[in-house]
């Protein structure tokens, strides 16, 4: 992997989106249009390219929206699958906190809404995007869920931070899904605990992929992973909750933090473990 000084990033607002560029080339968009189910990132381009690592509105399961955060079965609402009447995560305020430099920072406040039902959550998000090398861009996604009423989340596989890879990078498309133990593919990784997972394939003669790292301060760390060979992966222990589900009361909060790592040229386990160590050390200074 190339070693170089971090590149200049910029962020600017367009209707329904925050556009993030690295060295003048678009890297990602954070989509926040009024008619969406929830905010999400699309595209998330491989470093040095204009091709997204992720997809959305793609079969099977077109409700998987690239790189996103949502949850089903929250007080009977569905803040995951399509159908705005079933529940929505609605941005109340979105700010570009730092618009240019070695990083860009987005702050956001959202409210979880469903017609005819009280809102279960508000959430606060801080998103920090950096490009430590020409081959590696990171999205540090931190979210704090704040219950407004008594909340019960029943066991569900439709939950929390998730990514849906482009079909040609999926296992079914010839790519590779691997965890920190070196286990690979859906059958070997489904339900297994791991501090990170990497999903990568080959395009134009180069490895391209997206890894997700879980912060050790997260509840349930290291998480169990929900994995699919068609391109979906998520550190979501909600699929293995006990029969009583997860219950939260007003005044409690649930903070979760993840690092999405877009890479070109490939990352091995040592590199990912090193990234995790440096990310955690930096977050605790």
The sign of the torsion formed by the CA atoms of 123, 140, 258, 282 equals negative
> Residue 5 pLDDT more than 80?
no
What pLDDT, on the 0 to 100 scale, is given for residue 130?
A: 97
> Residue 1 pLDDT more than 50?
no
| Per-residue pLDDT tens over the stretch 114-153 | 999 999 999 999 999 999 999 999 999 999 999 999 999 9
| Short-list 216, 173, 229, 177, CA closest to 200 | 177
What pLDDT, on the 0 to 100 scale, is given for residue 7?
A: 82
Alpha helix stretches (DSSP H) within 74-217: 186-189
The sign of the torsion formed by the CA atoms of 221, 252, 109, 237 equals positive
Cis status, amide bond into 58, omega within 30 of 0: no
Enumerate domains of the chain plus CATH numbers: 9-283 (2.70.98)
> Residue 3 pLDDT more than 70?
no
> Residue 2 pLDDT more than 50?
no
> Residue 270 pLDDT more than 70?
yes
Q: Residue 71: CA atoms inside 13 Å, Cβ hemisphere, count?
A: 24
> Residue 6 pLDDT more than 80?
no
């Amino acid at each position: 992997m190339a070693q170089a000084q971090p590149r200049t990033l910029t962020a600017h607002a367009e209707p329904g989106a925050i556009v993030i560029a690295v060295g003048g080339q678009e890297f990602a968009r954070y989509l926040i249009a009024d008619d969406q189910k929830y905010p999400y990132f699309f595209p998330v381009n491989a470093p040095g390219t204009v091709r997204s690592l992720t997809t959305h509105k793609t079969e099977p399961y077109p409700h998987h929206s690239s790189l996103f955060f949502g949850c089903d079965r929250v007080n009977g609402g569905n803040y995951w699958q399509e159908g705005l009447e079933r529940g929505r995560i609605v941005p109340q305020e979105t700010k570009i906190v730092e618009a240019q430099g070695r990083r860009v920072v987005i702050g956001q406040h959202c409210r979880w809404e469903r017609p005819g039902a009280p809102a279960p959550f508000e959430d606060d998000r801080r998103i920090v995007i950096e490009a430590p090398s020409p081959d590696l861009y990171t999205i540090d996604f931190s979210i704090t869920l704040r219950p407004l009423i008594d909340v019960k989340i029943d066991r569900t596989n439709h939950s929390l931070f998730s990514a849906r890879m482009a079909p040609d990078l999926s296992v079914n498309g010839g790519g590779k899904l691997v965890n920190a133990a070196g286990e690979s593919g859906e059958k070997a990784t489904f339900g297994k605990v791991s501090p990170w997972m990497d999903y990568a394939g080959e395009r134009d003669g180069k490895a391209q992929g997206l890894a997700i790292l879980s912060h050790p301060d997260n509840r349930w760390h290291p998480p169990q992973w929900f994995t699919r060979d068609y391109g979906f992966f998520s550190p979501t222990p909600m699929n293995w909750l006990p029969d009583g589900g997860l219950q939260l009361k007003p005044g409690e909060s649930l903070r979760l933090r993840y690092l999405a790592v877009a890479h070109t040229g490939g990352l091995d386990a040592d590199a990912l473990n090193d990234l995790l160590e440096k990310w955690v050390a930096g977050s605790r200074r």
